Structure 1
């Protein structure tokens, strides 16, 4: 545990553990496997590195600034991306914007998604409803006031969406079919091929193509729906949303697939909430 705690943020390979502790490969794999099984360590399914797990982190509460350690968070996102088959990211609020802390792509992912670490989207409706779903009426009105209309009115639609997020535990960002096709076309552009002036305009355009969430009554298990992202909140020790874990399909999904991915994100978010010593408010 001391070796993992003092190791690099991205974790350690089993071969590095063998070398540093002078263990046999069989012994190292047995020890690491036991630590993973009991939650004392986690193994990133993409880079195969080991890092501190939720059991240790929950006991140690070694969390700086209300965010989980980077190595643990990346492993959670890697597992999400591998299980769901889409990119997974962690988003926080900073200086009035939704900021992507990290994003992980699943193996052989072919659909470009213009999201990257440190990307920022304005924290205005329809973006970020999961961050205010458990907030007071005043905080929800303040969020609504950031919309272009600026009237601060929490419309019946927004009120219904926030209630749905609290009930099911995750957001489902709707995406129109024309928007989905346009996003795919825009996604063909590599950001390094764009000028500094065009790059932020492209990001803003991609953000504008999405609209506020689906309500449960608008979805059936066999229906097919264009979805931008799904997200579930991570709560801190005060019961406030510290960050969201996000999966980025940006394509049509069945209602059953939406529910499956949504619940998978919720489970991942609950694990990170545990590490933060947080709780979901009633």
Structure 2
């Protein structure tokens, strides 16, 4: 399998912009930037000079420090077009996060990869992080969409070797559509999988690593609770809850999540799931979307 070619010069530019973006409002000198990014001063200066010329970075002649420039505002606005629902979701997620003291996110499938769009709460979630949209990752992004979307995802070559129980997954689809949300179990394997796959294209993984990840996560069914699994008074280890928003055509648009990260009772799962689903419905309505009858 061919491995995507990387461009070290471009990667250095991206690292520098990411460094600024992670520290909004701050200014940095050439020496500090070169040291933090492990770049030579001439290389770092060359990048800064080009970014300054394009307006992406501004240099303060008095302090000889740099900060993000106005061109980044225009770029951000352009990138935000088509993600209006995620902006609407941000306020709702902040309220939900405060209510449960939990991390809440909004994400979507963009250009064939899962993209993290919004985050609220105490967790460290990197906006712009991407994940492969292929089994075993991405089930929640097709659960409430048309049947054809689920079938297409299921037919996608897996990101890593994994067993797929199609009959079980279709039960998951049916139940999640009935309840309006998904409950993902808390497993160390699941957490490690997403850590390993963050920002990685399937083709970039060496065969031996793909095999190890496949052994790590042996079945999707181990990570999803069905209604029959959740006893009201019994505590269940839950990683997160997820619910969908829909666009004007009734297609699944965003996935909103509410992190849990601890055992909670089945009754509490139902309460939080209902709260998350209500937020998702509110975002759908405010964004001009329509919940399809099948969902």
What CA deviation, in whole Å up to 9, does each residue of 1:56-93 have, x standing for no partner?
Answer: xxxxxxx94252363x4321111010112210111111
Distance 1:69 1:140, change over 3 A: closer
In the TM superposition, residue 212 of structure 1 has moved relative to its aligned partner by 3.6
Structure 1's unaligned 5+ residue stretches are 1-62, 187-200
In the TM superposition, residue 126 of structure 1 has moved relative to its aligned partner by 3.9
SS class of match (2:241): strand
TM-score computed with the length of structure 2 as normaliser: 0.57
SS class of match (1:93): strand
Q: Does 1:242 align with 2:253?
A: yes
Bigger radius of gyration among the two: 2
Distance 1:68 1:75, change over 3 A: same
Q: Does 1:269 align with 2:280?
A: yes
Q: Do the aligned partners of 1:225 and 1:255 also contact (CA within 8 Å) in 2?
A: yes
Matching residue of 2:119: 103
What CA deviation, in whole Å up to 9, does each residue of 1:174-212 have, x standing for no partner?
Answer: 123x558x87xx9xxxxxxxxxxxxxx9xxx8xx77854
Cα distance in 2 for residues equivalent to 1:228 and 1:150: 20
Q: Does 1:158 align with 2:198?
A: no
Matching residue of 1:68: 85
Structure 2's unaligned 5+ residue stretches are 1-79, 196-208
Matching residue of 1:190: none
Q: Does 1:92 align with 2:103?
A: no
Q: Does 1:135 align with 2:111?
A: no
TM-score computed with the length of structure 1 as normaliser: 0.59
Matching residue of 1:50: none
Distance 1:69 1:127, change over 3 A: closer
Aligned length: 190
